[in-house]
Structure 1
Amino acid sequence: MTIKIALTGSIGMGKSTVAAMFVAAGIPLFDADAEVRRMQSDGGPLVEAIEARFPGTTQGGAVDRDRLGARVLGNRDDLAALEVIVHPAVQAARAAFLDAHHGAPALLFDIPLLFETGGEAAYDKVIVVSAPPDVQQARVLARPGMNRDKFAGIMARQTPDEQKRARADFIIDTGGSLDQTSAEVIAILACLGLPTGR
Structure 2
Amino acid sequence: MSEGPFRLGLTGSIGMGKSTTAGFFAAAGVPVWDADAAVHRLYSPGGGGGAALKEIAPQAIRAGAVDRDALREAIARDSALLPQVEARIHPLVAADRARFLAAHAGADLVLLDIPLLYETGAEAGLDAVLVVTAPREVQRERVLARPGMDEAALAAILARQLPDAEKRARADFILDTSEGLEAARDRVLSLIAEIREERRHA
Instruction: Calculate the TM-score normalised by the size of structure 1.
Output: 0.90
When you count helix as a share of all residues, which structure comes out higher? Answer: 2
AA aligned to 2:84 is A
Residue correspondence of structure 1 range 1-198 to structure 2 within 5 A: 1=2, 2-72=5-75, 76-193=79-196
Q: Which runs of 5+ in 2 are unaligned?
A: 198-202
Deviation at 1:53, TM superposition (A): 1.3
Asked if the contact 2:35–2:113 (Cα under 8 Å) also holds between the matched residues in 1, the reply is yes
Deviation at 1:63, TM superposition (A): 1.9
Asked if the contact 2:35–2:114 (Cα under 8 Å) also holds between the matched residues in 1, the reply is yes
Give the Cα–Cα distance (whole angstroms) in 1 for the partners of residues 110 and 24 of structure 2.
Answer: 13
Deviation at 1:105, TM superposition (A): 0.4
Asked if the contact 1:13–1:129 (Cα under 8 Å) also holds between the matched residues in 2, the reply is yes
AA aligned to 2:45 is D
Tell me the C-alpha RMSD between the 2 structures: 1.8
AA aligned to 1:64 is D
Give the Cα–Cα distance (whole angstroms) in 2 for the partners of residues 89 and 165 of structure 1.
Answer: 29
AA aligned to 2:173 is F
Deviations 1:74-101 (A, max 9, x none): 9652221111111000111111111111
Give the Cα–Cα distance (whole angstroms) in 2 for the partners of residues 173 and 134 of structure 1.
Answer: 13
Equivalent residues, number: 194
Give the Cα–Cα distance (whole angstroms) in 1 for the partners of residues 188 and 53 of structure 2.
Answer: 37
Could you tell me the percent identity over the aligned residues? 49
